[in-house]
Amino acid sequence: MRLLQQLSAKSYSTFALDTQLAELVELESLAELKTYQPTTTPLLLGEGSNSVFLTDQTQTILRYLAKSRTLLSEDDQQVQLHIEAGDNWHQLVSWTVTQGWWGLENLSLIPGSVGAAPVQNIGAYGAELADCCDYVDFFHWQSRTVQRLSKSDCGFGYRDSIFKTALAGRGVIVAIGLTLKKQGQPKLGYKGLEHLNEHSSVAEVAQAVIAVRQSKLPDPVVLPNCGSFFKNPVVRHSVFEAIQSRYPAMPFYPQADGLVKLAAGWLIEQVGLKGERMGDVGCYEKQALVLVNFGQGTAEDLLKMISLIQLKVATQFAVQLEPEVRLLGN
């Protein structure tokens, strides 16, 4: 176990606001987690790629860093894996692609840790974690035991799960189980993947996804950001039709339940905010869905930018955008 005190939050959030963390605890194993006895419930943090510290934090921050990978079973059709929560998500995806296993390729280059993936039910380019997740192992603070939650127990939805609702603050995700296929059908329904076909390899799909993401998303080391800042709104068909009648070229994605997912970045661009700034925070010039810190951004700048975007999109489209990023201290 490692205990750190009085730290700048800049190193623990890729948005890099200049706030302070009073105390941070890092645990390297499940054994350490089971012996750790916090006096108050700590705030969990992965790699900070989806968290923004708006204010100085007095609550203890906990990072769980165990990161082993275990092959549970393998046959001619598929493999089953057990992955600890501290593993880096993109490194895991790259490893599975190198093995020739299908399932995670469309989720390439998503920043963050494995443990954060179920919380958001991370997704991109027509795929999401729930597609191949078998279970999540969850350590409960109260019982001091690990519970295995099946996929159906996890309440996975669009950028949602039980870990954001009923189990929020009640424990720590320590591992996930995955089933990946040895033969796959590429998911190519998103812009930027049109040059691929049904015969493309898993590596070719992953490389294409990485190329698209790198062309649109700034490197947080160079320009601090948390990637896609808002959820893509899912609306009733009547709302979709009303907007489409005015904007026939609008991108949209029909959902199985009859609702329609819209592209938040497109909506923000249509209201003229791509490249707009509030102080030192603004919409990235290559992708309006990404908010960036140009170096000296403050929480006030960020909150003003969020409010402006939400107001303009609601006024023009009657659609309410919700942040996908976790705002801490608001």
Residues acting as catalytic residues: 159, 228, 324
Spatial separation of the C-alpha atoms in residues 285 and 268, rounded to whole Å: 12
User: How many of the other CB atoms lie within 10 Å of CB of 119?
Assistant: 24
Spatial separation of the C-alpha atoms in residues 83 and 122, rounded to whole Å: 16
Per-residue exposure over 284-321, b if at least 16 CB sit within 10 Å of its own CB, e if not: beebbbbbbbeeebbbebbeebbeebbebbeeebebeb
Residues 6+ apart with CB under 8 A from 234: 158, 255, 259, 260, 261, 262
Long-range contacts of 161-170, Cβ-Cβ distance < 8 Å, separation of 24 or more: 161/118, 161/119, 161/120, 161/121, 163/118, 163/119, 163/136, 163/138, 164/119, 164/120, 167/138, 169/41, 170/140, 170/141, 170/142
